[in-house]
Structure 1
Amino acid sequence: MATAQRRRPELAAFLRSRRARVTPADVGMPPGMRRRTPGLRREEVAQLSGVGVTWYTWLEQGRPINASAQVLDAVARTLRLDRPEREHLYHLAEVPYEPGPETLTRTVGPEVQGIIDALDPHPAVVYNSRYDVLATNPAYRQLFLIPAPVRTGVPNVLWALFTVDEERCPVVHRDKELPLMVATLRSGYGRHVGEPAWEDFIRRLSTASPYFAELWASGDVSPPGRRVKTFRHEAVGELRMSSLSLSIDGMPECRIVTYTPEDADTREKVALLERRRSARKIPLP
């Protein structure tokens, strides 16, 4: 209750500040009579948004009234709110925010690439919510075979893991780890239901892998999080690695996943691989 009481004054102040920056000319209206401030009047916002003047006045005064997503969207369009401002409006009005369909990020900038390169010799990779591989560092490429691009033109971990023979799968505890990955995929899918690219991806992978189709049908949902996974490497055998997901500001639905050795045996094997990799970089005399 205290939180709601605090949000209403914040909502009122936010709406007033956004209204003050939009001029009649911005929305195609004549300036009209002399104004005390250059921004829109409350009745103009209500008219342009298709809501009642009294209702909008109460909303801007921070009164405890209910607002639907449709009405908030109309107000947001009138006030020319960008995505962060729209999301902020929803939170202050205590309405669940559902962002519109967006194209998944497919590339990373030099700053993010530099960060994961700096994590070497710890393997690091950047995924989007569909497990497309957007960037890797040398240690990751040494430990894991980068999957070939699927029809989207981007390498995808799920496609690689579910379409390879079980004995060649780099994940040791396949029946434990792959269900968790599919459940994580579904948590991202909820924001993209009905989008052709996502539906096509799910349909094609279900056709290619009956096991994926079975797991997808279970409906399980799980967010990304810390995991201890066991991988097999052709040169050193099994590796127990702890994975940690880190979100990236400015890259919605993307995360950096880092891997660190979970035990002394794995640390020794990773160090051996690093020494071999460093030796290959030494130019021949």
Structure 2
Amino acid sequence: MSDQSVQLLGAYLKDCRARLDPASFGFSNARRRTPGLRREEVAQRANISPTWYTWLEQGRGGAPSSEVLNRIAQGLLMTEPEREHLFMLAFGHPPEVVYRAPAGVTPRLQRLLDTLTFSPAIVKTATWDVLAWNRAAAVVFTDYSLLPVEERNILRLMFCRAGVRERQDDWEAMARFVVGAFRADAIRAGAASEVSKLADELCLRSPEFATFWRDNDVRVHGEGTKRIHHPTQGVIALEFSGFAVDGRPDLGMIIYNPVTAEDVQRVRALVG
């Protein structure tokens, strides 16, 4: 690390520490000269030497290891962008991607989905588990709340549920696209072990998936059009766009907009 990098790293750690409320970590606010956690409290949370952490903030602690930086980031409750910036300051490159399956979405993100009254929308993980959805998605695609959690996976639905297959206007083309886009998303998120487990399962359950998976095709799930054959409303054409969730690189949001006024009316009839 250059002298400038060392100084910038120390200043960044100090700023992050100063923004934290000691009471929220169970520390007393009494007799504090400056805002935020004390250095020894950060060291305690990161399970490192208080002296060494102090030197690190002062720019004389030497280059920390990736493991130590990760412990400090966890101790300071850094967001993923903040942790990435920490590693850029220390090493000049972002941290190694380690996939962690998310537990859910924030209430704010769910409220955003719910505002899209006639546009089906979902939030999916890097392994394409559907984590959140709005009412339009439930009535147009499938009611995910009625499925076991492990079955709320786009690939399992696409390849293992007859009803989902029958609703696709061109199932084979859509299935190939889904496999290629899934491969790209999961690899980018560093979810190799999770991908391997899911792929092995689906290869056993679906000969078509096994064939498409062997093709090693990679797609970008940016935008496109799909047509759904709904049992009561007929064909519904939807334009879809994929979006990254800010601060959550493990999540992606897909919004489906009805193409024509007639498609809007069909979705409206289903939403009620």
TM-score (structure 2 length as normaliser): 0.71
Of 142, 146, 171 in structure 2, the residue corresponding to residue 145 of structure 1 is 142
* Distance in 2, Cα, partners of 1:233 & 1:73: 51
Matched position secondary structure for 1:182:
helix
2:26 corresponds in structure 1 to none
CA distance in 2, matches of 1:101, 1:277: 35
Against the structure 1 CA distance between its residues 40 and 176, is the aligned structure 2 distance closer, same or farther, given a 3 Å change threshold? same
What amino acid does structure 1 have at the position aligned with 2:99? P
- Residues 128-147 of structure 1: per-residue CA shift (max 9 Å, x gap): 12221222212112211236
Report the CA distance between 1:85 and its aligned residue.
4.0
Residue 100 in 1 paired to residue 121 in 2?
A: no
Conserved 8 A contact 1:247-1:256: yes
Q: CA deviation at 1:220?
A: 1.9
Partner of 2:54: 39
- Given the alignment of the two structures, is residue 15 of structure 1 paired with residue 30 of structure 2, yes or no? no
Does residue 238 of structure 1 match 2:235?
yes
In the alignment, residue 225 of structure 1 is paired with which amino acid?
A: G
Which amino acid is 1:193 matched to?
Answer: A
**Cα drift, residue 217 of structure 1:** 1.7
Question: Aligned match of 1:171 in 168, 173, 183?
Answer: 168
Q: Judging changes above 3 Å, is the alpha-carbon distance between structure 1 residues 236 and 246 closer, same or farther for their aligned structure 2 residues?
A: same
Change beyond 3 A, Cα 1:184–1:10: farther
Deviations 1:22-45 (A, max 9, x none): 9578343669xxxxxx93167962
Q: TM-score by structure 1 length?
A: 0.68
* Local SS of the residue matching 2:169: coil
**Greater CA deviation, 222-231 or 15-24?**
15-24
User: 8 Å contact 1:105–1:251 — kept in the other structure?
Assistant: no
CA distance in 1, matches of 2:39, 2:83: 19
Determine the C-alpha separation between the residues in 2 that align with 1:276 and 1:110: 25
- Identity between Structure 1 and Structure 2 (%): 23
* In structure 2, C-alpha distance between the alignment counterparts of 1:136 and 1:167, rounded to whole Å: 17
SS at match of 2:97: coil
Match of 1:187 among 181, 184, 189: 184
Alignment of 1:1-285 (within 5 A): 11-18=5-12, 23=39, 26=43, 27-28=48-49, 39-40=54-55, 45-46=61-62, 56=63, 73=66, 76=69, 80-82=72-74, 83-92=80-89, 93-95=91-93, 97-102=95-100, 104-146=101-143, 149=147, 153-165=150-162, 168-190=165-187, 191-195=190-194, 198-262=195-259, 264=260, 267-275=261-269, 277-278=271-272
Bigger shift: 162-171 or 240-249? Answer: 162-171
Q: Say which SS state the counterpart of residue 143 (structure 2) adopts.
A: coil
AA aligned opposite 1:121: F
- Unaligned 5+ segments in structure 2 are 18-37, 75-79
The structure-2 alpha-carbon separation of the partners of 1:250 and 1:30, relative to structure 1 and needing over 3 Å to count, comes to closer
Residue 219 to residue 272, structure 1, CA distance change in 2 (3 Å): closer
Query: In angstroms, what is the RMSD of aligned CA positions?
Result: 3.3
Q: Distance in 2 between matches of 1:73 and 1:272?
A: 53
- Tell me the CA shift for residue 241 of structure 1: 0.8
Letter in 2 for 1:188: D
SS at match of 1:194: helix
Larger Rg: 1
Count of matched residue pairs:
234
- Measured against aligned partners, the alpha-carbon deviations of 1:180-209 in whole angstroms (never above 9, x if no partner) come to 2111211232211124xx433221111111
Larger RCO (alpha carbons 8 Å, 6+ apart): 2
